[in-house]
Amino acid sequence: MLEAVVDEDRGLGFITTLDSYGELTPSLNVVDTVAGKLVRTITLGKQPSPIALDATSGRVYAVHSYQDAPDTVTVLDERSGAIIRTAPLESLLTVQVAVASGAGRIFVVGRGNGILDVLDAVSGQRLRSVPVPVVDEPPTPPTAVLAVDERAGHVFVAGGGDAAGRGLVSILDARSGAPLRTIRVGTYARAVAVDPRTGHVFVLDDHAAMLSTLDTSSGAVLRTVGVPRGTGQPGQFGQLVADATAGHVYVDGGGTNRVAMIDAATGALVRTVALPGHDDQERVFYVNAIDKRTGRVFVLSEGAPTRAADASPPYYLDVLDAHSGVILRIITLGAASNFPSTPYALDARHGRALVQNSDKTLRLVDISCV
């Protein structure tokens, strides 16, 4: 799966690349997100996925996963692209990397063995490895397995469910990585998001199609509400994101054409946004990003398959107002024969999206709103 991270202040995007067969290559492209130009290509020893960026320390982290051995991480200097360190991890089959800039820590969690590695953000040195319950199935599309509350100094890990059918969320200290407690929420905790302003953490129960609001300090469940999901099997949800500025949490459509908007303070469902131009056979992929400066939410969605046997379905980037949920603009991204022509790098500050075409070239898409 393609991944990208963007430093909007510097206007740089770090993007994994594909070969002619649609497979990941052992390289990272560094792109000027304002001009849409390739700055450099960094060659690594193995395919990088997932990746993360810490603008505070000026580091980029690329994890390399193996089927039968613990993963490794490569730490790069953001400005020069120089490789600082490649080090072994304890985690296996990494699903996400999270950054706690205030604590100077990086967290890497693997679904293969349920190990969370704690790294120093500057050097990349592994400081600690902690066993945690974690989502035990591949998150496709991307799932927020980790969430960091910088204000409270906590890290939350969505741990799927136990043998008794209870959802698990682990809370750790963001500085030391020490486990603090494990909370049982719903039936299957697939994703988490944090709103530090309200002191709330939101847990998505993928199997029950429910969203729970918890207190970040005590772990107490404050409210649980239903969110939209299609008629398919569990595992369709992609992501939920919190916008502290607008005071809302957005949950993807779970295989439908709808996005749920939740009040971050109360945990109540404010509204369900149906994306125009789509029908119930067309589905939301995931809530891709929030631009706190302009109050915009970007949602990646897929249209219904065309009748042509050799054609791919169209893809859209829907731009919503983060405060009201009103749809401001729908950008048609087109389709690709081999791989979806989807935006996998957003620079909301400069109003740009980097999109990969079917021939693996990059194009710059204007995502600014009138």
User: Is 135:110 a contact under the CB 8 Å cutoff?
Assistant: no
φ/ψ (deg, to 5) at 230: -75, -175
pLDDT at 300: 76
User: Tokens representing 29?
Assistant: 């492209």
Q: Residue 33 burial by CB count (10 A; 0-12/13-18/19+): exposed, middle or buried? A: buried
Q: Mean pLDDT for each consecutive 10-residue tract of the chain (370 residues)?
A: 82 82 81 86 86 93 84 94 93 88 93 90 94 72 78 90 83 95 88 92 87 90 86 59 87 78 95 72 63 81 60 76 89 57 66 68 69
pLDDT at 278: 53
Q: Cα Rg for the chain, rounded, in angstroms? A: 19
Most distant pair of Cα atoms in the chain: their distance: 55
pLDDT at 337: 40
Q: Measure the CA–CA gap between 299 and 277, rounded to whole angstroms.
A: 14
pLDDT at 52: 92
